[in-house]
Amino acid sequence: MASECLFCRIATGEIPSARVAESARCVAFRDVSPQAPVHVLVIPKAHVSSLDDVADDSLTAELLAMARDVARAEGLVDRGYRVVINTNVEGGQTVFHLHLHVLGGRRMQWPPG
Ligand code: DGP
């Protein structure tokens, strides 16, 4: 764990969050600044800075499966939803601990801003 990393501290529970799912390696919690009626973040518990830093792609698959399961549990599947991974500065990443955004409950726009 990187002790100064916000999402590492959320993963351990040191910083509170509204958790919606958890597995041995991953956790999902509601975004503090929701951009849609449903906005959940899925993260690895271990520190990984960005998608480009994943060393084990079984973790990538587990994160994506948890995002799918969260979308199902939140009732988003029939209407549709979006999963986003902002990566590094031009990708819009502001917290440098890998996270998948699960967004739903409104019509999404394309292209993204
Ligand atoms: P990104 O821009 O892709 O790095 O997204 C970072 C997200 O993290 C952003 O949507 C807001 C969210 N966020 C930042 N700080 C906190 C926090 O302390 N708690 C929670 N639940 N979410 C946070």
Residue extents of the structural domains in the chain:
2-104
Question: Catalytic annotation on 99?
Answer: yes
Q: Which of 95, 97, 103 to mutate to test the pocket of ligand 1 (most atoms within 8 A of CB)?
A: 95
Which pLDDT band, with edges at 50, 70 and 90, does 17 fall under? very high
To the question of pTM greater than 0.95 for the whole model, the response is yes
pLDDT of residue 1: 61
| Centroid of ligand 1 to alpha carbon of 107 (angstroms) | 21
**Tokens encoding 94:** 């502001």
Q: Atom 12 (ligand 1): residue with closest C-alpha?
A: 31
CA–CA distances in Å: residue 101 to residues 3, 25, 41: 23, 17, 5
Phi first, then psi: what are they for 39, rounded to 5°?
-145, 105
Percent of the chain whose predicted confidence (pLDDT) is above 90:
96
The CATH number of 2-104 is which of 3.30.428.10, 3.20.20.70, 3.40.50.10860, 2.30.30.100? 3.30.428.10
| Centroid of ligand 1 to alpha carbon of 95 (angstroms) | 7
Catalytic residue among 39, 97, 99, 101: 99
